[in-house]
Amino acid sequence: MIVKELTIPYNLLMDVALLRRLRPTHPKLAMIEEDLTRRKVGYRGEQNLLYHLGFLPPQNQKIFFGLRLPFEDKTFQIDTLILTPSFILIIEVKNYSGILLFEKHSDQLIRIYQNKEETFPNPIFQVQRHHILFDRFLKHYNIPNVPIEHIVIISHSTTQIKTASDNLHIYEKVLHSEKIISKMAELHQRHKQNKLKNHHLQKVSQLLLEQHKPEVPNSNEIFDIYKDEIIKGVCCPVCRAFKMVRKHGKWVCSRCHTSSKEVHKQAILDYLLLIEPSITNKSCQDFLDLSNPSLVHRLLSSMKLPSKGNDGGKKYLLPTPAYFQEQYGF
Ligand SMILES: [Zn+2]
């Protein structure tokens, strides 16, 4: 069963919002577009793994996507984790296209794609580091000793994975998404003894959900973009101009005359992704260029956002990625 669902990453949503709200000549647009493409490919790669995990026999296993666990002075991110009574599998998902060559002597990963050769950090080392940290994490929380395994999943089935003939153990650790079924069967064969009783499984599951620290989007940290570079106002869904004004209970574009009742929602979500992860009535008035607090109150409360505080001090908070998925249908 899936305990923690795969959701669209905040950073992908942030990129989409930034592309909408930076001036068309902003020097970072190309960089953000590239980042968005990379994140979309990454998200599709994880969706692809999710699809294949759907074919696993219904055994006693718990699946977690996108865990971010703070531990010691680090926060480590595990793309996918499968918890079973006899072992735990840590999966790192990579979305490389082309030919991947795992060099035996240098232990480097060389990618050959479109006649270009590039060297990447070896993802096996990355997942090994997560393995070590996760092992220490479990010991710290007094979880009984349970074997931990790690693999790297290459999400594109057309990507070639190559290595020298005396380095074939690489294929034990690096595999395509569709091989996850046979890999799980092999691991169940290797680890037959149940180390975690039902109440332990429950305890680990709860621990992971409690310790998970969701990523908060921060455009300044990632792209060095300041809040005053973000265009305020409501964006026209047709001509993309920030010329929507409130008239007779709806938004009307003063450039192309498109009208909409809902378009402020996107503006408020953009604020939560790009300016700060909470919004007050006052800051919403300023961002939407409205001066009527009771109208802004109605607009904000109709969105059913999570909130804290009451009356004048009420803050509406950045909703979960699942909320965005419903709004935008990603
Ligand atoms: Zn318009």
Kindly write down the DSSP assignment for every residue of 188-234, as one continuous string: HHH--S--S-HHHHHHHHHHHHHH--PPPP-HHHHH---GGGSPPS-
Distance 330 CA to ligand 1 centre (A): 24
> What residue has token string 């919002």?
17
> Would you tell me how many other CB atoms lie within 10 Å of the CB of residue 43?
18
Distance 270 CA to ligand 1 centre (A): 18
List b or e across 272-292, with b for residues whose CB sees 16 or more CB atoms inside 10 angstroms: bbbbebbbbbebbbebbebee
Q: Which DSSP string do the residues of 22-66 spell out, in sequence order? A: S-TT-TTHHHHHHHHHHHHHHHHHHHHHHHHHTTS-S-S-EEEEE
Distance 290 CA to ligand 1 centre (A): 18
In eight-state DSSP terms, residue 141 is T
Distance 242 CA to ligand 1 centre (A): 8
**Span between the terminal Cα atoms of the chain, in Å:** 23
211, 69 contact by CB (below 8 A) = yes
Distance 252 CA to ligand 1 centre (A): 8
Compute the distance between CA of residue 99 and CA of residue 109 in angstroms, rounded to an integer. Answer: 10
Compute the distance between CA of residue 295 and CA of residue 313 in angstroms, rounded to an integer. Answer: 16
279, 306 contact by CB (below 8 A) = no
Distance 257 CA to ligand 1 centre (A): 6
What are the residue ranges spanned by the domains of the chain?
2-211, 232-328
Distance 281 CA to ligand 1 centre (A): 26
Phi, psi (deg, nearest 5) at residue 327: -70, -45
Distance 241 CA to ligand 1 centre (A): 6
Q: What is the pLDDT tens value at each position of the chain, 330 positions in all?
A: 999 999 999 999 999 999 999 999 999 999 999 999 999 999 999 999 999 999 998 778 999 999 999 999 989 999 999 999 999 999 999 999 999 999 988 889 999 999 999 999 999 999 999 999 999 999 999 998 999 999 999 999 999 999 999 989 999 999 999 999 999 999 999 999 999 999 999 999 999 999 999 888 888 888 999 999 999 999 999 999 999 999 999 999 999 999 999 999 999 999 999 999 999 999 999 999 999 999 999 999 999 999 999 877 899 999 999 898 887 665
Distance 259 CA to ligand 1 centre (A): 8
Task: Indicate the SS3 state at residue 92.
Answer: strand
Distance 84 CA to ligand 1 centre (A): 53
Distance 322 CA to ligand 1 centre (A): 29
Diameter of the chain by CA atoms?
A: 74
Distance 21 CA to ligand 1 centre (A): 15
Q: Which CATH architecture has domain 232-328?
A: Orthogonal Bundle (1.10)
